[in-house]
Structure 1
Amino acid sequence: MNVLCVAVLYKILLQEDCDFFDVRLGGRTSHPLYFYNHPCQKIPANLDNFYLFKLAYHFYELGHTLVLDRKRVDFVEYALHHFLTFSLILFSYSVGYLPIGAAVMILHDVTDLGCSVFKLTIDITPTAVEVIGYIGMVVPWLYVRLWFFPAHVISRIFEEMNSWHGVRINRHMMIMLTVFLIVLFCMHIFWFYLMVKGLLRRFQAKTWKSGISFATNANNVE
């Protein structure tokens, strides 16, 4: 699913010269304009349809979580994640903030690829493969979600609010969007903490098992 979303969204954004698709994510501009000439922005063909697809998908995910995943240990943060994602997509679509919405969606889908790959390798592959999978998950997360997202997406909102073309923007709506994104960024930090915590737990568990194995072998030798 993540692979499909990334491929389709990249194709949509690259088929035209988007002025909001950052070069650091594979676009063509180093100075993205998320709100320029709003609400008469140049929107790539089929981006609207892709938005509707993502809305339907995340609405399903939210409903599935609330109904069938209530016994999950991480139910609260998992449900909050889906609720926040659905709310952001719905909000940005409703007020016509498709450019920044597309930027946020693509950086999340790209990093979700690494998470999906790591989930496929964990516990069923050699340790070396698990390590590579973990690195492939953490490095993009650090670069995209913990650096690029606040430095080049959230900060751009404040820059455009204070620019000459920002006077056409409803500042209350932009502040609301900024609050949404900051909450999402805080969740990114929390999830990264869980990644590191999970790694430490696995390391401690393997060390403990290795200690038991060594003690058992020693006793057998004696």
Structure 2
Amino acid sequence: MVDLRLAKRLIGKGLEANERRKKIIKFKESTWKCVYFLSGELLSLSVTYNEPWFKSTRYFWVGPGEQGWPDQKIKLKLKAVYMYAAGFYTYSIFALLFWETRRSDFGVSMSHHVATVVLIVLSYIFRFARVGSVVLAIHDASDVFLEMGKMAKYGACEWLANVSFLLFVASWIILRLIYFPFWILRSTSYEVLLTLDKEKHKFEGPIYYYIFNTLLFSLLVLHIYWWVLMFRMLVKQIQSRGQLGDDVRSDSEGEEEHED
């Protein structure tokens, strides 16, 4: 009987230590991502906020002056935004494969990272950097709150996790489910055809129009998928009177751990 109680106690301590180690690993992952998303958001805003295309999507394609796509100049600081984002999302593909905790939305996350890298590369090559800079700005904002919420959850700070989750949901709805489809996608699929001279700009080619927009719409599909997960989490939070689950975007079931 004594040996049985001792065994249960030792096993319990071992499980507790293992769970603590997993949370520390996840906390480090979220801290690193939060640093990137916050710095990336500040960089994107500092570069694009005073540009005309930040406030009017028409300037994605024309202006200032006589400039028009694809002859618009890409400023050095805008190139820096692109290099910064391309580096992070390329790293994220390898991190997801080899280093990060394996979560149940692995396939969806990998699809998102690959689509993002392809979009960054194509939009830079084909001079869609104005569109890309705004897309990066509205995406990074939501992820700042996501990673803050995860860090707070892993650190057992429930009130900060709850606040971060609510800000994350609000920013996701406004930026990714409203602004992204009704302003960005509308401009890349409809407004561009009305703005550019079709005789001068062969925009409706397979890469310029269909592939680029297909990738952007694929991001919207992923946004909707993740919103379904968030809505479930929000319902659970209300039912449990403000207590969040282990993760604020992906299901925690079936997680695997990569050794450092």
TM range, normalised to the smaller chain? 0.7 to 0.9
Matches within 5 A, 1:163-202: 163-165=195-197, 167=199, 168-172=201-205, 173-202=208-237
Q: Percent identity?
A: 21
In structure 2, what is the equivalent of residue 75 of structure 1?
A: 106
Distance 2:157 2:197 in 1: 53
Pick closer, same or farther for the CA change 1:166–1:66 going to 2, 3 Å. farther
Q: CA deviation at 1:62?
A: 0.8
Q: CA deviation at 1:112?
A: 1.1
User: Aligned AA for 2:134?
Assistant: A
Pick closer, same or farther for the CA change 1:133–1:164 going to 2, 3 Å. closer
Report if the CA contact (8 A) 1:146-1:188 is conserved.
yes
Report if the CA contact (8 A) 1:18-1:44 is conserved.
no
Distance 1:96 1:164 in 2: 14
Deviations 1:12-64 (A, max 9, x none): 224xx523112xxxxxxx45421220111143432112212221221111122
Pick closer, same or farther for the CA change 1:118–1:35 going to 2, 3 Å. same
Q: CA deviation at 1:130?
A: 3.1
Matched, 1:34 2:65: no
Matched, 1:160 2:160: no
Deviations 1:170-208 (A, max 9, x none): 21212221111111001001111111222334555679x
Report if the CA contact (8 A) 2:149-2:160 is conserved.
no
User: Aligned AA for 1:46?
Assistant: K
Distance 1:80 1:190 in 2: 12
Pick closer, same or farther for the CA change 1:115–1:97 going to 2, 3 Å. same
TM-score by length of 1: 0.79
Distance 1:70 1:78 in 2: 12
Report if the CA contact (8 A) 1:160-1:166 is conserved.
no
Report if the CA contact (8 A) 2:177-2:224 is conserved.
yes
User: SS where residue 53 of structure 2 aligns?
Assistant: coil
In structure 2, what is the equivalent of residue 217 of structure 1?
A: none
TM-score by length of 2: 0.68
Distance 1:34 1:169 in 2: 16
Report if the CA contact (8 A) 1:69-1:75 is conserved.
no
Distance 2:162 2:84 in 1: 34
Pick closer, same or farther for the CA change 1:8–1:166 going to 2, 3 Å. farther
Matches within 5 A, 1:33-112: 33-36=59-62, 37-69=68-100, 71-112=102-143
Distance 1:164 1:170 in 2: 8
Matched, 1:136 2:167: yes
In structure 1, what is the equivalent of residue 53 of structure 2?
A: 20
**Higher RCO, Cα 8 Å, sep 6+:** 2
C-alpha RMSD over aligned residues = 2.3
Q: CA deviation at 1:118?
A: 1.5
Gaps (5+ residues) in structure 1?
Answer: 23-29, 208-222
User: Aligned AA for 1:198?
Assistant: M
User: SS where residue 59 of structure 2 aligns?
Assistant: coil
